[in-house]
Amino acid sequence: MQRILKTLTTIGLVALVSTALSTRAEAGFIPVFVGSAPDGAGMTNYNYTLNFTTNGTTSETLTAGDFITMYDIGPATVVAPGLSVTQTLLGTTAPLTTPTDNASILNVTFTYNGATLASDTTFVGIVITSPFALRTGQYTSMDTIGVGKNHQIGQVLLPSPIPEPASVALLGLGGLVGLVGLRRRKSSV
């Protein structure tokens, strides 16, 4: 009986250690969606943090030129204190990653340009203002490990480049009203 109990205890400890190791947070430079709020002008402010996490890896750093690109956001106003921002149709993509990227929809790239960071850092105040609803999208990122680079691809909640059905209905209704007005104008001439 003691042998069985000892074996079960050993199996339990191995499972516990294995679970702890497999649930460890991933190191790197990643975007995190933290919430949204209407801006009062028919748009929505989508709030993010950009988290750089080393997980105790002493060789992992964030150096000038390291970046995060969020794909297929569409037209948006972006605020990112401490980072430079570019919006392009074909975003900067981390090597060795293959995100889905529609070449006709804007991407947003956040590039770090400061002094080398070797400890966990969170960039706050990242806001993307867009008229579109949320959907799951992709990002790629690159940070530095020793003399090489860490390349990542992942998913994050992003504004969709496609309007909500209610917005499409409003646009259609506006177009219909315009056509009726144009027809009335022609018939009165």
67 to 15, 82, 119, 187: CA distances (angstroms)? 37, 12, 16, 59
The DSSP code sequence of 147-172 is: TEEEEEEEEEEEE-SS--HHHHHHHH
- Tell me whether residue 84 is in a domain: yes
Whether the pLDDT of residue 15 is over 50: the answer is: no
Q: Residue 22 — pLDDT band, cuts 50, 70, 90?
A: very low
- Tell me whether residue 20 is in a domain: no
Alpha-carbon span 89 to 79, nearest angstrom = 19
Range of the structural domain that residue 86 is part of: 26-178
Q: Model-level pTM greater than 0.85? A: no
- Tell me whether residue 8 is in a domain: no
Q: Quick one: average pLDDT of 10-27?
A: 36
Whether the pLDDT of residue 164 is over 70: the answer is: no
Higher pLDDT among residues 159 and 179, named by residue: 159
- Tell me whether residue 160 is in a domain: yes
Q: 59: domain CATH number? A: 2.60.40
Burial of 154 (0-12, 13-18, 19+ CB in 10 A): middle
Whether the pLDDT of residue 52 is over 60: the answer is: yes
Tokens for 37, please give them: 């709020």
- Tell me whether residue 162 is in a domain: yes
- Tell me whether residue 166 is in a domain: yes
- Tell me whether residue 21 is in a domain: no
Alpha-carbon span 22 to 4, nearest angstrom = 27
Higher pLDDT among residues 73 and 10, named by residue: 73
- Tell me whether residue 9 is in a domain: no
What domain count does the chain have?
1
